Structure 1
Amino acid sequence: MTFQVNKEDGLYYRQTLFDQAKRVVIKVGSAVLTGDNGLDESIVANIARQISFLQSTGREVILVSSGAVAAGRKRLGVARTPHEELRVKQALAATGQGLLMQAYELAFAVFRQPVAQVLLTHADLSNRGRYLNVRNTIRTLFEFGVVPIINENDTVSAEELRFSDNDTLGALMTNMIGADMFIILTDVDCLYTGHPAEDPDARPIYTVAAITREIERMAGHSGSALGTGGMMAKLRAAKMVAACGGSSFIGPGRHPEILQALFSGELVGTFFLPGKGTLNRRKHWIAYVLKPQGTLVVDDGARRALVEQGRSLLPSGIVEVRGSFAVGAPVHCLDRRGTVIAAGLSNYGAADIERIRGRKTGEIAAILGTKDADEVIHRDNLVILGSEGVV
């Protein structure tokens, strides 16, 4: 199995990367923070103590915290249902978010560590100007020695504009601010080769060199009763971080000294090494933050030009336009087999692309009456999505 790193090398890589990590994002899931009586204040206090310790070593830390909906559910005595309406979740989040921040404020105050609440919607990140404003605000909080505590603004987020889970939100934050490491604290010990309760040969995986399809198939071996993500969401988040050159960790959030254990080199949880290449932050924004508004199906020649030769997408290679979108919209490119091969920003709207698809660049002006660009998607605004992730 080529995705694993042997124990000796894994310990070396881990210790080196933890020693070098100066900016860290830590995500804590609902299953860690909540119990039968709502928020577990002892866990909150422990998280605050450990993060305050990291701050004292000169590191900058962001905390991405779930728990608002779960806290609100416990406070209001609302039972969980299989098909809960969005309005109910939003009401629970509105009730629980105050409880969550109150608990953190009190816990961090013991260590004289100031904190700040940052509530985000997907729209805050999909708009480039607002995205940069969020980044600047977080950097300013760092200058003041504040720990930003980030959560999705569930109360106002529309279903179609939500982050899929806080694992994704944490990965986006990691890449946005150029953090060195993303630490996911959850209710599972680590990733296993099989289900520990069902497979006697199941073994823990301590260090992962690359998240391949082989390792993604192992994601069903563990899950959480309270969280929205599950192991597959955590692997997707780790892959996003690796694409931008960061490392990730998934491990037990209720371990009383988990952060100290990690930064002192103990072999706990599963550690994911950085990717070989590094995706710049703008292309990360295109590939991961923006939700596609349409799809362009390309022929085999265009597929080779994009994937193998690093070229722009020309109208001659487009065989089908799906969806209705305007100039500048994010779109996905599919090959004839239906595989998503690229994400990018379109220089033309869907109606105009339908008119010029399959035609040569020199014909654009005659067909449309004007020509804004030779390319439908310029390579500077294009990200190739490889079989093992963004490349």
Structure 2
Amino acid sequence: MTFQVNKDDGLFYRQTLFDQARRVVIKVGSAVLTNDDGLDYSIITTIARQVSFLQSTGREVILVSSGAVAAGRKRLGIVKTPHEELKVKQALAATGQGLLMQDYEQAFADLNQPVAQVLLTHGDLSSRERYLNVRNTVLTLFQFGVVPIINENDTVSAEELRFSDNDTLGALMTNMIGADMFIILTDVDSLYTGNPSEDATARPIYTVARITKEIEKMAGHSTSSLGTGGMMAKIRAAKMVAACGGCSFIGPGKHPEILQALFSGELVGTFFLPGTGKMNRRKHWIAYVLKPQGMLVVDNGARRALVEQGRSLLPSGITEVRGSFPLGAPVHCLDGEGQVIAAGLSNYSSSDLEKIKGRKTCEIVDLLGRKEHDEVIHRDNLVLMGREGLPARTSQDEPVAS
């Protein structure tokens, strides 16, 4: 099959990338950290020991941890309902986050490894200044030899400002700090070609060279009893990391020595090879972190200019403005079929764009009484998107830069 590499080659690629990885992000899901009695302290101590092992090899490690809501639910005896209100989840997170960090602090303290808690909302990353502040804080913690333990600040996150799951948060952190590897520890052994409980011919996939539609369909064969992500979210997170030149791993978090096994070359779980090239960090922020506040529908000429020629978006190519947004807002560009072809930052507000759409740049002053920019979206603030809503690789991508 074209979606996976030769087994021997896969082992070589895996081991090479594990050996070269100096900065690692590890995400641990609720299904790994909890049992019927709430938080499983034996698992937490195992994770702490393995993370400390990686630290001792000279690597820098971030731990993205779920488990706060599940811990709070057990402590308060709240039964999960199909349509649980956000305020209930926030209350559970507020109760459980302290329990989670208490266990982590104790487990790491026994190993003489300092840790720090970092709680984030999507708003912390959608502001460029705050995004860079978060990055600088994490890098400074690395300098102090501290392991950052990161979780979404569920207690204050509004629905529209959520990351949706910690797999996405982990992928964003991986790309933000330029980590080499994103490890997702879950209660599923690996990605399978079919449902092992129903298909006797189903087999694990050890190495994925490129995430295709076929791979994404396989995500439906693996399910988890806890958490919000699911295998599809993990596949999407791996695709996000690959687009920025990193590799990912999905595998069994309850394996007693999972990290040592991985870094020593044991064939376990599913490994995703990095994509070609690395996306500029600013463009990563535009493409992955920012949520669009509006849409700009463009004509075929503008589509060709953006996709084939790597040019900026001019007002003459815009046929429709959707939504209400201010100057500088993140927007998506759609073609005539409604396909997202680009994401970018608009130099004009929606009200101004309604006046200048379809017009030449030389007319902007007459229409608005001023002209700050010729371009609606400059190519430096624009990222092409693939058929699946993820950034497309182009020859225009710049090398990594802050």
Shorter-chain TM-score category?
A: over 0.9
Q: What residue is the counterpart of 2:210 in the other structure? A: 210
Q: Distance in 2 between matches of 1:168 and 1:234?
A: 8
- The one-letter amino acid of 2:383's match is V
Alignment partner, residue 398 of structure 2: none
What TM-score does the superposition give when structure 1 sets the normalisation length?
A: 0.99
Distance 2:213 2:319 in 1: 29
Consecutive unaligned residues of structure 2, counting only runs of 5 or more, are: 393-402
- Give, in whole Å, the separation in 2 of the partners of 1:273 and 1:228: 25
Distance 1:308 1:71 in 2: 51
The equivalent of 1:264 in structure 2 is 264
Query: What secondary structure does 2:170 align onto?
Result: helix
Matches within 5 A, 1:53-92: 53-92=53-92
1:304 is displaced (CA, Å) by 1.4
Shift of 1:339: 0.9
Aligned residues: percent identity?
Answer: 83
Alignment of 1:292-307 (within 5 A): 292-307=292-307
Q: 1:182-331 counterparts in 2 under 5 A? A: 182-331=182-331
Structure 1 residue matching 2:385: 3-state secondary structure: strand
Measured after TM superposition, the shift of residue 277 of structure 1 is 2.3
Match in the other structure for 2:171: 171
Match of 2:397 in 1: none
Q: In the alignment, which residue of structure 2 is the partner of 1:342?
A: 342
**Offset at 1:130?**
0.7
1:237 partner amino acid:
A
Instruction: Give the C-alpha shift of residue 308 in structure 1.
Output: 1.3
Mapping for residues 120-139 of structure 1, pairs under 5 Å: 120-139=120-139
Q: Does 1:37 align with 2:31?
A: no
Q: Distance in 2 between matches of 1:353 and 1:291?
A: 19
Is this contact kept in 1: 2:48–2:108, CA < 8 A? yes
Instruction: Report the residue type matching 1:228 in the other structure.
Output: T
1:104-115 equivalent positions in 2, closer than 5 A: 104-115=104-115
Paired with 1:198 and 1:367, the residues of 2 have a C-alpha distance of 65
User: Residues 86-139 of structure 1: CA distance to partner in whole angstroms, max 9, x if unpaired?
Assistant: 111011000000000000011111110010100011111001111111111111
Structure 2 residue aligned with 1:390: 391
Distance 1:3 1:368 in 2: 52
SS at the partner of 1:94? helix
Report the residue type matching 2:103 in the other structure.
A
What do the CA deviations read for 1:153-208 (whole angstroms, capped 9, x no partner)? 00011111011100000001101111100000001011111111122222211111
Post-superposition offset of 1:284: 0.4
Greater CA drift, 246-255 or 381-390: 381-390
Residues in 2 aligned to 1:192 and 1:58: alpha-carbon distance in whole angstroms: 33
Q: Deviations over 1:306-338 (max 9, x none)?
A: 111111111111111100000000001111111
- C-alpha separation in 1, matches of 2:326 and 2:2: 43
Mean CA deviation greater in 207-216 or 47-56? 207-216
| CA distance, structure 1, for counterparts of residue 314 and residue 209 of structure 2 | 36
- Greater shift, 282-291 or 216-225, is seen at 216-225
Give the Å deviation of 1:363. 1.4
What one-letter code is carried by the residue in structure 2 that aligns with 1:102? Q
User: Is it true that 1:99 corresponds to 2:99 in the alignment?
Assistant: yes
Corresponding residue of 2:27: 27
The unaligned stretches of length 5 or more in structure 1 are none
How far apart in 2 are the matches of 1:35 and 1:279?
A: 39
Task: Give 1:54 shift.
Answer: 0.4
The Cα of 1:387 is off from its aligned counterpart by: 2.2
Alignment partner, residue 396 of structure 2: none
- 1:15-39 residue CA offsets vs partner (Å, 9 max, x unmatched): 0100000000000000000000000
Aligned amino acid, residue 380 of structure 1 = D
Calculate the aligned-residue CA RMSD, in Å: 0.9
Moved over 4 A (4+): none
